[in-house]
Structure formats: C-alpha cells, structure tokens
C-alpha cells in the first residue's frame, strides 16, 4: 500500500500557523481523504462543485479526526467510514466550525470528537487489534479474522 504524504505543514500554512502550533492543536499525520461516490449537497457550500482547493483531510490509523482548513477557520468532523470498492472511504460527520480568531476553542472540539470516535473502537477477539467500526465484520471480529476463521471472502 502506498504511503500518503503528511500534509500537516501545508494545512498549517493555509490558516497561518507554524507547523508546531497546528500540530499542538490538531495533531499531525494529515492526508487527503479521497471523496467517495456520494455527495452531501446540503453540507457543501459550493453547490455541488466540491471544493478542490480545500478538501477534507483525515488523520490517524484507524481514522480518528477529519479537518477542512480555510484561511478563515477550520471545519472539524468525526470520520464515518464505509467500504467502497475494496477500500474505506470516510465521510465527515458531526461537523463543527472553529473560526481562525477562536482557534483555542478547537482543543475542546478535537477532544470531544476524539473521545466520541474512540468509543466506537473495539478489539478483535482473535487478533486483538483495535478496530474501527468500518473495519469489523461483527462487533468483536475484524474483516481479516472473519476471512481466516469463518472463511468469508471479501
């Protein structure tokens, strides 16, 4: 699998922060989230054209937080994963906007979103890997172990 580049520095520059400040607020290891085949027209201010200049980014493995950075502020969201064409695509859920002049408030928003997302993770009873809902066959069995132990082919 191809390693995606860490775009933390680029995101920090968009909002005018030093990379250290950005990483302190939002974490590091950001990568572009390729859009899925769906489109949420209600949540897209571009009227369906998308915002190629400001795509959603995701961080964590499994994904734990999504961010969309503008010069005027950031949208933060919890990633909701879906398996599509043998890959997981993430859609932002519970989006919250934080203006650039109120970035200190982002700490609490990030903490709330992280806590909520991490509560959905479970350990696979076979391999003991911490797995997000989109990586599970059942509430306590990951897809890899479903193939190994139950013979399920994906």
Dihedral sign (CA 56, 61, 65, 69): negative
Amino acid 1: pLDDT: 47
pLDDT tens-digit map of 100-114: 999 999 999 999 999
pLDDT tens-digit map of 48-58: 555 555 789 99
Tokens 């775009």 locate to 7
48 within 8 A of 37, measured Cβ to Cβ: no
Number of Cα atoms under 13 Å in the Cβ half of residue 71 = 1
Reading the block at residue 45, the tokens are: 């201010």
28 within 8 A of 59, measured Cβ to Cβ: yes
Quote the DSSP letter at residue 51: -
In angstroms and rounded to an integer, the radius of gyration of the C-alpha atoms of the chain is 17
Reading the block at residue 65, the tokens are: 């937080």
Residue 9 neighbours by CB distance under 10 Å: 14
Pinpoint the alpha helices (H) of 1-154: 8-15, 19-26, 106-118, 143-150
70 within 8 A of 45, measured Cβ to Cβ: no
7 within 8 A of 32, measured Cβ to Cβ: yes
pLDDT category at 47 given cuts 50, 70, 90 is: low
- pLDDT-above-70 percentage for the chain: 85
Model confidence, pTM: 0.81
Amino acid 37: pLDDT: 52
- pLDDT-above-90 percentage for the chain: 68
Q: Which residues is 23 bridged to in the sheet?
A: none
């Amino acid at each position: 699998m191809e390693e995606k580049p860490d775009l933390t520095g680029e995101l920090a520059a968009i909002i005018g922060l030093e990379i250290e400040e950005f990483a302190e607020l939002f974490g590091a290891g950001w990568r572009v989230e390729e859009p899925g085949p769906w489109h949420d027209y209600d949540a897209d201010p571009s009227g369906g054209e998308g915002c190629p200049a400001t795509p959603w980014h995701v961080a964590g493995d499994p994904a734990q937080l999504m961010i969309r950075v503008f010069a005027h502020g950031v949208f933060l969201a919890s990633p909701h994963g879906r398996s599509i064409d043998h890959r997981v695509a993430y859609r932002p859920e519970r989006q919250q906007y934080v203006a650039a002049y109120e970035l200190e408030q982002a700490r609490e928003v990030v903490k709330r979103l992280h806590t909520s997302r991490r509560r959905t993770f479970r350990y696979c009873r076979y391999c003991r890997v911490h797995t997000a809902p989109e990586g599970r066959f059942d509430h306590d069995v990951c897809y890899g172990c479903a193939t190994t132990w139950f013979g399920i082919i994906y």
